[in-house]
């Protein structure tokens, strides 16, 4: 019997489609823009730092107020506005012009401008408040500032994880209950099988911005939520959506929501320690050009960002590898929960086609950029992974509740 089941499964396998010419062009331009973004992200703070313009911004802030905390906040606000304006043409091309050129966007120019202004305001407020932590600690504990800042970063990150999906995300799109009540009942039944009670499912009107399809899990505790783009509801059938949601439920059940929190915290700790070790020598050598001779000077912000960016770039492959592993295990969880290999594979095919993705982008892209396994790998895994067909134990079977 199990031989027949396997033979049937092989016959029903979903092939990995070849990428379209449009997808290949989009991928090539995406890789080029990633390099440009990386260089621009270093060039802008580098120019502001080495020209001494950062010190001039700080001096202007000091003329406005003599309170140190307000100087820091005003400097950061000006820095965020300045860097946003400098990068605005590139952002406009990437987020608006290019997305429309490839048929991936529904966004109006007015919506893009509105979202950009909102993002700038959020960045000004959040950046000004968060910057107070390292610059306050730097003055009081110049030798251990990186440690105390790192410890303080954990509750800040936790707060962001809680508040972002509830307060920040709704600034840009409308979140509401799932309109398809039959689908909602199916999802809730699936959540019960996964051992999740009181699930919160949201539909977001992303079709005003994009034609791409997606779903995600975000937050934790009271802010934990599963979010579906309205585009995924329109373009995937109910069985494909149930697999996609099974994947997202896997993230929750397997505590994948919390792991990125602590991963980000560890990355911050490594970056702060490296900044502490390297910044002294750079300031001693270039203090005349920088216009400051102490790290606790607010004008040192571009230096902090440059060093932190360099460390993050070095550590990114490790962070991405962990992310790919978590995504793979969430795929496994979704397959074991739904046992619907065909729908899982066709969902990934549609994801490839609708989002203009490349099924097998290659090792260099994977190492430096991929937070998920390639869609080719995910389709292959969906076709082949069925331990229940041969009576083998499920890896996550103990998480499931019998109906």
Active site residues: 248
HSE, CB side, 13 Å, CA atoms: give it for residue 308. 14
Distance separating alpha carbons of residues 158 and 285, to the nearest angstrom: 38
111-124 b/e (C-beta count within 10 Å ≥ 16 → b):
bbeebbeeeeebbb
Distance separating alpha carbons of residues 175 and 212, to the nearest angstrom: 17
Distance separating alpha carbons of residues 196 and 134, to the nearest angstrom: 39
Taking CA 101 as the corner, what is the angle to CA 235 and CA 15, rounded to the nearest 5 degrees?
Answer: 40
Distance separating alpha carbons of residues 397 and 163, to the nearest angstrom: 33
β-strands 225-229, 215-218: how paired?
antiparallel
Q: What is the SS3 assignment for 218?
A: strand
Q: What is the SS3 assignment for 351?
A: helix
Distance separating alpha carbons of residues 197 and 202, to the nearest angstrom: 15
Distance separating alpha carbons of residues 250 and 196, to the nearest angstrom: 10
Sequence-ordered strand ranges (E) for 95-252: 175-177, 201-204, 215-218, 225-229
Distance separating alpha carbons of residues 192 and 235, to the nearest angstrom: 25
């Amino acid at each position: 019997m199990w031989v027949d089941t396997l033979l049937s499964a092989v016959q029903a396998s979903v092939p990995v489609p070849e990428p379209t010419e449009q997808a290949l062009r989009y991928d090539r331009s995406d890789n080029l823009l990633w390099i440009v973004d990386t260089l621009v992200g270093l060039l802008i703070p580098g120019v502001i730092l080495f020209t001494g313009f950062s010190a001039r911004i700080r001096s202007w802030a000091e003329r406005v107020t003599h309170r140190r905390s307000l100087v820091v906040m005003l400097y950061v606000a000006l820095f965020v506005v300045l860097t946003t304006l400098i990068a605005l043409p590139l952002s406009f091309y990437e987020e608006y012009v290019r997305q429309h050129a490839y048929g991936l966007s529904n966004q109006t120019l007015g919506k893009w401008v509105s979202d950009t202004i909102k993002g700038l305001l959020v960045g000004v407020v959040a950046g000004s408040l968060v910057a107070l932590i390292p610059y306050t600690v730097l003055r009081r504990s110049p030798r251990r500032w990186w440690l105390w800042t790192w410890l303080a970063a954990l509750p800040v990150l936790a707060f962001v994880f809680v508040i972002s999906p509830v307060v920040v995300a709704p600034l840009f799109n409308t979140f509401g209950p799932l309109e398809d009540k039959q689908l909602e009942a199916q999802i809730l039944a699936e959540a019960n099988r996964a051992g999740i009670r009181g699930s919160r499912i949201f539909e977001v009107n992303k079709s005003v911005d994009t034609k791409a399809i997606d779903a995600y899990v975000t937050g934790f505790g009271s802010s934990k939520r599963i979010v579906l783009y309205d585009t995924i509801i329109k373009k995937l059938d109910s069985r494909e959506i149930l697999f996609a949601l099974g994947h997202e439920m896997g993230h929750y059940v397997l505590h994948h929501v919390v792991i990125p929190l602590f991963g980000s915290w560890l990355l911050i700790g490594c970056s702060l320690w490296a900044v502490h070790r390297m910044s002294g020598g750079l300031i001693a050598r270039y203090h005349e050009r920088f216009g400051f001779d102490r790290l606790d000077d607010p004008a040192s912000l571009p230096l902090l960002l440059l060093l932190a960016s360099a460390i993050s770039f070095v550590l990114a492959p490790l962070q991405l590898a962990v992310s790919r592993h978590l995504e793979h295990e969430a795929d496994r969880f979704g397959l074991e929960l739904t046992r619907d290999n065909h729908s899982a594979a066709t969902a990934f095919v549609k994801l490839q086609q609708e989002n203009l993705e490349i099924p097998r982008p290659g090792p260099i892209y994977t190492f430096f950029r991929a937070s998920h396994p390639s869609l080719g790998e995910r389709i292959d895994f969906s076709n082949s992974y069925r331990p229940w067909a041969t009576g083998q134990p499920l890896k996550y079977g103990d998480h499931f509740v019998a109906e």
